[in-house]
Amino acid sequence: MNRLFFALPLVVAAIIGAFALWGLSNGRDPGAIPSALISQPVPEFTLDPIEGVPTPGLATADLKGQGLTLVNVFASWCGPCRAEHPVLTRMSEQQGLRLVGINYKDRPEAAADWLEELGNPYALIGADFTGRAGIEWGVTGVPETFIVNNAGIVVHRFPGPVVGDGQRRFQQALDTAKAAQ
Amino acid sequence: MIPELGQFALALALMAALVQSVLPIWGAARGNTVWMASGQATAVVQAVLLIFAFGALMHAYIVSDFTVLNVVENSHSLKPMIYKVAGTWGNHEGSLLLWVLILAVFGAAVAVMASNIPMALKARTLSVQAWISVGFLSFMILTSNPFERVFPPPLDGNDLNPLLQDFGLAIHPPLLYIGYVGFSIVFSFAVAALIEGRVDPAWARWVRPWTLAAWMALTGGIALGSWWAYYELGWGGWWFWDPVENVSFMPWLAGTALLHSAIVTEKRDTFKAWTILLAILTFSLSLLGTFIVRSGLLTSVHAFAVDPERGVYILGLLGVSILGSLALFAWRAPAMEGGGLFAPISREAGLLINNLLIATATATVLFGTLYPLFLEAITGDKISVGPPFFNAAFIPITLPLIIVMGIGPHLSWKRADLPGVLARLKWLGVIVLVATLVAAWFAEGGPLLAVISMGIAFWLIGATAQDWARRAKLLEPGAWARIKRQPRASHGMSMAHLGLGVLMMGAIGASAWKSDTVSFAEPGTVVPIAGFEVEFVEVNQVRGPNYIAQIATLNVTKDGDFVTQLFPERRVYPVAGSTTTESDIRQTLAGDLYVSITEPASDRAEGLWTLRLIYEPLVNFLWLGSVMLVLGGALSLSDRRLRVGAPRRAAPVHATPAE
């Protein structure tokens, strides 16, 4: 009995280790946590436009009564954002979706160059230099894309780039949101 | 050429570590003094080689050598110099090199400085330390070579990420690492003691300075990270229960328990197996921290680039070191108990309760951090565990801990007189109760739990101060001489306990009584916050050296009396084309009034300003308390007993009366 007691830490550590091994081995995506914002109204925030970019800024009120809106969190320093940019551009054009952006912790001139280079598909862009709005939205990394419905309710959070298999999954979520509209 | 030399140094360091991992411990088993002594040489050689390798990588960053892949990916020629230097450890490979470097420097420090430790124990400790070195050096050389070249070299580096260009970010990881890795020495000592099958008061005393040093660095590192998040990032908070914060907090909790349980081993020759277990667990939790941040096992705002391949390798390393040491513990520890007996009411019992509660708190944080992983594995559901769980689970465990913490130092070893102690503390109890009610009246109520917690913080501060004053017999002649004569470790304890009380006041104040408003303002608008009235007076345009600033003037009054004027700014840099928001803070011990202005984005708010006001009561107590904790550790570390060294093993250890 006494000996078993001393072996207890070993057993607990081995169990934790087994879970960790499982966590690494089956190709799961730990980022795929549903947001606490789902089915909640868009958080309160007000963001200025990016300095040097003519697109107006973004605030909570801009996401109500405007139909289905995609809120894309991006930054010029983020590689995957570059990859998903043409996909989102095409998606919003072909499906007539309103696309707005939150420029996360970026330098204005870098963001302006980035939009200049790749094109600017966003109707509105809020510059979140301090990352405060990112906290309100529960952003864990860039890129992230939220689907907001006509009533200003967040219906889906998609972490990671909308490309490849991600694009398929994002389209599914988008179709569900359209059907519910 | 220099990067190749750096890589060569890494390979040589691995060779030295391999030799050190076998020869000294074999020598200790066979009584061969030359083999045992070899560990000291190899430990120093290892440290020198790794200092060289780290220097080589830093050189590549400083001169922006874009033939090195690591520099290309993580630097840019236009970065300010300090961030080029900091870039050396701001990435996976470089930070791993720093980790191994600190490990080797600690090993060399044991080899050189710990001259009073018996040769066999020292040899075994250095060998165990080398096992860890071999694991992480091979991991680095096989999967994460920081010196990998790239051809053709690009014109410039990839990274100008503004997120990573911050002074706080430059110095906070190295401090944390010193803390994490410092516990490796304690771990090595523990494993060596298990192999030797002998733990006694002398052992506990040898280990103490290393535990203290690591604990101080970890305390400083965590506090600095929190300070940075609060002031620099403007996140509006100082602790988020993020997985990465939790993995630094867990070794801190376990290390704190270890510091206390090692005292009992040192003074009373008991709690042996428990102290050894804590030493193993503290370093295991540090390893877990390193692992979680790098493997992508859990999501967090802090995570490095994810690479499952590396994750499996690190998990393998962790498996071998943690499971191996715990298996050794299960095998050897049962033979270890014994030593001094004690009554249910005694200093030992107080420290036992302390340890049980801290261990429970650590387990709670561990469970909350890993729960998403468990749940997903079993049910497939994906959830994230947030502050509500941690607040609900952690606070009820810590409050009793703090109450006992106030009483503990008043108890004597072996058998204490609880009625006597309580009689001594009864007036303090009355004073604390009155002070709490007065504080609650000043704060105009507030959550009941916050008021109770505040009372408990007062209790800790009062009881600690009374204990200190009693020991010094402060009111009798010759108090100063008595204060100077007392061991510095006991002053260190008082300082650290007071610090925790102060820190607690800050934590409670800034969480429970914080107020935060955002409003549209124009000249003449008055916004009330936390008993202040903030009047938005005017906005003036001022030309700075290379910017144009719009400076708002805010009049702060309290009940009609003038308090101060604050000038938050919004700056436009026409050349760079950027704008910044310069907030203004009225910083007092009572609390921070934080104001910032921005131009509202919405068209409906033409001519208005967005005015954000935050009042964080007592928040500066957090930093003050943290400084006191580190200072307490430093006082303990400077104690004569630790500097002069422990008595030889054979000599009986006298229990010193005051601690």
Say yes or no to pLDDT of B486 above 90.
no
Spatial contact of A23 and A30, defined as CB atoms under 8 Å apart: yes
Say yes or no to pLDDT of B658 above 70.
no
Spatial contact of B317 and B136, defined as CB atoms under 8 Å apart: yes
Nearest CB to A17; choose among B281, B295, B323 = B323
pLDDT at B323: 93
Say yes or no to pLDDT of B659 above 50.
no
pLDDT at B253: 96
pLDDT in tens, A79-111: 778 878 888 988 888 888 899 999 987 888 888
As separate numbers, helices (DSSP H) first and strands (DSSP E) second, chain A gives 5, 7
Say yes or no to pLDDT of B471 above 80.
yes
Token digits for B540? 């003036």
Q: Sketch the domain layout of chain A as residue ranges.
A: 34-180
Q: Sketch the domain layout of chain B as residue ranges.
A: 1-159, 166-235+244-357, 417-510, 515-617
pLDDT at B143: 84
Query: Coil, helix or strand for B137?
Result: helix
Inter-chain residue contact B578 with A108, CB threshold 8 Å = yes
Say yes or no to pLDDT of B214 above 90.
yes
Evaluated on CA atoms B90, B94, B100, B101, the torsion sign reads negative
pLDDT in tens, B508-519: 988 888 887 777
Q: What is the mean pLDDT of chain B?
A: 84
- Window 220-259 of B, Cβ < 8 Å to A: 233-236
Residue B163 touches chain A, beta carbons under 8 Å: yes
pLDDT band (50, 70, 90) for residue B58 = very high
d(CA B204, CA B646): 10
Smallest CA–CA distance, residue A108 to chain B, in Å, is 6
Residue of higher predicted confidence among B67 and A25: B67
Spatial contact of A71 and A59, defined as CB atoms under 8 Å apart: no
Token digits for B236? 């509006």
Q: In terms of DSSP bridges, do strands B548-558 and B532-543 run parallel, antiparallel, or are they unpaired?
A: antiparallel
What pTM was estimated for this model as a whole? 0.79
CATH 1.10.3470 fits B515-617, yes or no: no
Inter-chain residue contact A17 with B318, CB threshold 8 Å = yes
Neighbours of B23 (CB within 10 A): 22
Q: In terms of DSSP bridges, do strands B526-529 and B515-521 run parallel, antiparallel, or are they unpaired?
A: unpaired
Task: Name which of B185, B182, B174 is nearest B214 in CA terms.
Answer: B182
> Residue B599 carries which side chain, given as an amino acid letter?
E
Q: In terms of DSSP bridges, do strands B591-598 and B584-588 run parallel, antiparallel, or are they unpaired?
A: antiparallel
% of chain A at pLDDT higher than 70:
91
Spatial contact of B326 and A2, defined as CB atoms under 8 Å apart: no
The DSSP element (H or E) to which A74 belongs, if any, is strand A69-74
Angle B620-B626-B630 from CA coordinates, rounded to 5°? 150
Task: Name which of A53, A154, A23, A130 is nearest B377 in CA terms.
Answer: A23
Inter-chain residue contact A132 with B281, CB threshold 8 Å = no
Say yes or no to pLDDT of A142 above 80.
no
d(CA A101, CA A103): 6
Lowest-pLDDT range of A23-32, A47-56, B646-655: B646-655
Angle B262-B103-B254 from CA coordinates, rounded to 5°? 30
Neighbours of B285 (CB within 10 A): 25
The stretch B330-355 carries a mean pLDDT of: 82
N residues, chain A? 181
d(CA B529, CA B531): 6
Q: What is the CA radius of gyration of chain A?
A: 20
Spatial contact of B117 and B28, defined as CB atoms under 8 Å apart: no
Inter-chain residue contact B384 with A21, CB threshold 8 Å = no
- The DSSP symbol for B656 reads P
pLDDT in tens, B612-631: 888 888 889 999 999 999 99
Residue B362 touches chain A, beta carbons under 8 Å: no
Residue pairs spanning A and B at CB distance below 8 A? 139
d(CA B263, CA B204): 7
Spatial contact of B69 and B152, defined as CB atoms under 8 Å apart: no
Q: What is the ipTM of this complex?
A: 0.77
Inter-chain residue contact A23 with B518, CB threshold 8 Å = no
Question: For residue B515, how far is the Cα from the chain centroid?
Answer: 28
- The DSSP symbol for B105 reads H
pLDDT at B185: 93
> Residue A73 carries which side chain, given as an amino acid letter?
V
Say yes or no to pLDDT of A14 above 50.
yes
Nearest CB to A59; choose among B311, B318, B601 = B601
Spatial contact of B585 and B596, defined as CB atoms under 8 Å apart: no
The stretch A130-153 carries a mean pLDDT of: 82
pLDDT in tens, B182-193: 999 999 999 999
Token digits for B34? 């030359």
pLDDT band (50, 70, 90) for residue B647 = very low
Say yes or no to pLDDT of B656 above 50.
no
The stretch A22-35 carries a mean pLDDT of: 60
Spatial contact of A29 and B301, defined as CB atoms under 8 Å apart: no
Please name the residue of chain A whose CA is at the shortest distance from the CA of residue B277. A9
- Could you tell me where the DSSP H helices lie in B380-408? 387-407
Inter-chain residue contact B297 with A77, CB threshold 8 Å = no
pLDDT band (50, 70, 90) for residue B151 = confident
- Window 294-333 of B, Cβ < 8 Å to A: 295-301, 303, 308, 311-312, 315, 318-319, 322-323, 326-327, 329-330, 333
pLDDT at B335: 81
Question: For residue B408, how far is the Cα from the chain centroid?
Answer: 24
Residue B404 touches chain A, beta carbons under 8 Å: no
Highest mean pLDDT among B393-397, B521-525, B607-611: B393-397
**From the candidate CATH numbers 3.40.50.11540, 3.40.30.10, 3.90.79.10, 1.25.40.80, the one assigned to the domain spanning A34-180:** 3.40.30.10
pLDDT in tens, B255-271: 999 999 998 888 888 88
Q: List the single best residue of A11, A28, A60 to mutate versus B (max B Cβ within 10 A).
A: A28
